[in-house]
Amino acid sequence: MHPECVEEKARILMSRVGPTLGMHGGVLAGATGLALHLGHRISGDLEFFTQQVFKPSEVLEELRGLAGVVESVTMGDDAMIVQADGARLTLTQTPGRFAEPTTRMNGCDVAGVVDIAAMKLLAVSQGGMRSDFVDLYTVLQTVPFRKVARNALERYGVSILEPLIVGKGLVWFEQADVQGDPVYVGTPVTWDHIRDFFRSSVRQFAFDLDAERQILEQG
């Protein structure tokens, strides 16, 4: 794991609230979870996901007793966003069960690489940020796309990931083009290179996704 890739304020908050969020089934995923595994860039947002039903107001009260200063809170029926001790933390209920074993780090259960990559694929298919493309690109340098696609299909259902829509999302860069690069650890990858990678791969990725859908639909 690469704790050096987590911003210091977020790392401190992880250790304070991780065990409590774990009691609610919270698993750390998102950019910070992936950075802990891959060590490719710096991240500071703490994105926790749970399959358990929870009451954001009750979780907030627990967090207030653990965090030093809670600066802002946004709550919905099944999600909450908390800015505390200079770091951003979210807890969201998700229907997608994590398929891989989690890894314990700094008091938190961290989701596996393929599980997080599947979530990134879903995000990109719905109009991803540059950081989503960077993260998915990094995973796909060592993990076959079909493995990520299979994970996403099994967790979210074949109706959620339509190959044509996913394919369009993989090469829709309008939002990402105007955003800056994340802070890389080591040699940075140019945005042009990442765009070229997805443009040259999208046809095969769409075929692979469709093939995995057919396998699951046939039982």
Instruction: Give residue 85's region: left, alpha or beta (phi > 0; psi -120 to 50).
Output: left
Q: What is the pLDDT of residue 107?
A: 86
**Which option is the CATH number for 3-111: 3.60.90, 3.10.450, 1.10.3470, 3.40.50?**
3.10.450
Predicted pLDDT of residue 67: 79
Q: What is the pLDDT of residue 198?
A: 98
Q: What are the residue ranges spanned by the domains of the chain? A: 3-111, 114-217
Strands 108-110 and 70-75: unpaired
pLDDT at 34: 98
pLDDT of residue 148: 98
Q: What is the pLDDT of residue 219?
A: 73
* Edge-to-edge strand list for the sheet holding 103-105: 70-75, 79-84, 87-93, 46-50, 27-29, 108-110, 103-105
User: Which of 217, 208, 93, 196 is closest to 148 using CA atoms?
Assistant: 208
Tens digit of each residue's pLDDT, the chain (219 residues): 999 999 999 999 999 999 999 999 999 999 999 999 999 999 999 999 999 999 999 999 999 888 778 888 999 989 999 999 999 999 999 988 899 999 999 889 999 999 999 999 999 999 999 999 999 999 999 999 999 999 999 999 999 999 999 999 999 999 999 999 999 999 999 999 999 999 999 999 999 999 999 999 887
pLDDT of residue 95: 84
